[in-house]
Amino acid sequence: MIASIGTGIPPNERTQPEVKSLVREIFKQHDSKLIQRLQPVFDHAQIDKRQFAVETKWFKEAHTFQEKNSLYHELAIKHSLEAVDSCLSNRKFLKEPIPFEAVDMIIFVSSTGIATPSLDTYMMAKRPFREDTSRMPLWGLGCAGGAIGLSRAFDWIRAHPEKNVLLVCCELCSLTFQKDDYNKSNIVGTALFGDGAGAALVMGNKSPYLPYSKQSKPRIIETSSATKKNSHSVMGWDITNRGLEVVFSKSIPALVRSFWSKHISLFLNNVNIDHVHSYIAHPGGRKVLEAMTEILQIPQEKIKHSCNVLRDHGNMSSATILYVLNEWMQEGIAPGSKSVLSALGPGFSSELLLLEWHES
């Protein structure tokens, strides 16, 4: 059971027009026709505002990869702990706080910075987690990371039904910004990506902490992964001396209509699609959500929180799916209802989870 969700939202909020103006200012010395041609991407993204870990002036300055990664190290720990604290004490979902000592496994997901040892070890040092807590850091999964993290949590609690897993996703996409990268992918990325951290507590069906939970909660029933071979150029990072340079192909919506369409069709083969209450979809962007809605032939209501989170936060990579799940969990969905959670990521990969809502 997914018992609780928490978020860590960076403090620097900017509206989409403000970000658009900033990008125009930074890139004004380059090909003005290219910049002008890509400006409508900001207008059509259906994003109103986003949050960033750094202030506006940071984007106007040059930074080495080392400077960016050091800042990632510092701020990712900060915002991850905010999400964890929120998750374990969230009175919307819990009758009383869950002690840190109750966590048996930490899965830490991120792709926007590099750290060895992984950042979960630093989090463990700042909170009273047990020293025998298992760890599973996951890197390089991009936007699919949150969904894949939930799948790995499900695998682990099936083997250990009396235990609890804490999934933490933190992405500081702003720290990968390249002020001297004039490729289309970089400019499109500035129109979509934001920063955020999220945490989810997943309990096994024999966990002694199940009575702490309240409201209707989703249980993971089934998961499925699919990776398209030879699709490495679709999305990801080019790692250069300047840092992480975004790769973002215009073919993604087409792959949703082909590769993802086949994957979800097979996944829902034994499920009456009319009985699916909601689709908890990672909002990779407006065109991705439109393609999913078209394929599934569903009303906007069934995917509404994906649109709402995109509007209010942008694409926060792996953390975004936890923000969408948080919104659905607050609705108190009727027991017995089913939902499909989905995310797409580098690879080109697709992760699907079937959820069933139960009384706590």
User: Looking at the annotation, which residues are catalytic?
Assistant: 143
Helix (H, G, I), strand (E, B) or coil at 311: helix
Residue in this structure with the two tokens 């949590």, named with its chain if needed: 153
Helix or strand (DSSP H, E) at 79: helix 65-88
Instruction: State the Cα–Cα distance between residues 261 and 291, nearest whole angstrom.
Output: 9
Give strand ranges (E) for 116-258: 134-139, 164-172, 195-203, 217-227, 235-240, 243-248
Phi, psi of 49 (to 5 degrees): -155, 160
The maximal CA–CA distance of the chain, rounded, in angstroms, is 62
Q: Which residues, in sequence order, are CB contacts of 128 under 8 Å at separation 6+?
A: 99, 100, 101
Instruction: State the Cα–Cα distance between residues 139 and 149, nearest whole angstrom.
Output: 10
Instruction: State the Cα–Cα distance between residues 31 and 3, nearest whole angstrom.
Output: 50
CA atoms within 13 A on the CB side of 259: 24
CB 322 within 8 A of CB 93: no
Instruction: State the Cα–Cα distance between residues 112 and 117, nearest whole angstrom.
Output: 15
Q: Which residues, in sequence order, are CB contacts of 84 under 8 Å at separation 6+?
A: 6, 8, 123, 127, 166, 168, 199
